[in-house]
Amino acid sequence: MKIIITGTSSGIGKAIAEHYLRKGVPVVGIGRRHTINHANYQPVTCDLTDQNAIKELAVEEWISTEILLINNAGMLGTVKRLSDQDSPDINQVMALNVVAPALLMNKLARVCGDHSMALTVVNISSGAAKRAIPSWAAYCTSKAALEMLSETFYLEEQEKGRTTKVYCVAPGVVDTPMQAQIRSVDQADFAASATFHQYYENGELISPEMVAQKLDRLLAMPYSGMVSHSLRSVE
């Protein structure tokens, strides 16, 4: 098996990559920065907001008997009410959170189909996909779109008679740089700011390493065909 993960420089992506590297699984990391130094880690530098750069990735070089694609890279975008933003960055948020996963799913599905390789796709989602949070318009929209992309892709693979497994996983409230970004926003721009400060101060954030362990356990379970999952329910 070979694992392809986007956004491995920090947070959840780095923890997942290191988790599988410890298990002896080769990892391809895609992103702008790389902080992992391991013999089985292959860094692939790519700006995932650049569609042309993604299209030029030589995914054929990553051929293995089984591919696990984990679309982890994501961005929160500007935390501010939409009508208060001078120049909304929704295009950039959608490019990284939705378009990049779609392009990688397209490329890997085609290569895996051509070479009879098993494919599993994990898209890292959020509770914000199912719950509107004021000042997170772009992020909530992008994660809701990612959920529907995942569901649709799974049904399409079923129509083609393929055994592709697809997961769209909400990890919970995790101690990552994104959480630090959330806490840095003034309450005047983000009404729920105090809640996220409380998560941090009360020790309610889970570690990226715990997310990696729970994801590994989820993927080890028999596949039920259910796409949307919350890691909160995984023991």
Give me the CATH number covering residue 26: 3.40.50.720
- The number of folded domains in the chain is 1
Query: What pLDDT band is residue 63 in, cutting at 50, 70 and 90?
Result: confident
> Does 183 fall in a domain?
no
Half-sphere exposure of 11 (CA within 13 A, CB side): 21
Q: Domain range spanning residue 215?
A: 2-172+208-233
- Angle ∠(200,179,205) on CA atoms, nearest 5: 40
Annotated active-site residue 200? The verdict is no
pLDDT score of 100 more than 90: yes
Assessment of whether the complete model's pTM goes beyond 0.95: yes
Q: What is the mean pLDDT of residues 112-129?
A: 97
> Which residue stretches of 119-162 are H helix?
137-159
pLDDT score of 182 more than 90: yes
Q: What is the mean pLDDT of residues 169-197?
A: 97
Report the mean per-residue pLDDT for the chain: 98
Q: What is the mean pLDDT of residues 91-118?
A: 98
Q: From residue 18, how far is each of 5, 14, 46, 144, 161 by CA, in Å? A: 11, 6, 20, 28, 33
Please check whether residue 6 is in contact with residue 30, taking contact to mean a CB–CB distance below 8 angstroms: yes
Q: What is the mean pLDDT of residues 17-45?
A: 98
Q: What is the mean pLDDT of residues 12-33?
A: 99
> Does 121 fall in a domain?
yes
Query: What pLDDT band is residue 216 in, cutting at 50, 70 and 90?
Result: very high
Tell me the per-residue pLDDT of 125-167, one tens digit each, with 9 for 90 and over.
Answer: 999 999 999 999 999 999 999 999 999 999 999 999 999 999 9
pLDDT score of 191 more than 90: yes
pLDDT score of 46 more than 90: yes
Q: What is the mean pLDDT of residues 113-129?
A: 97
Q: Which of 20, 41, 139, 167 is catalytic?
A: 139
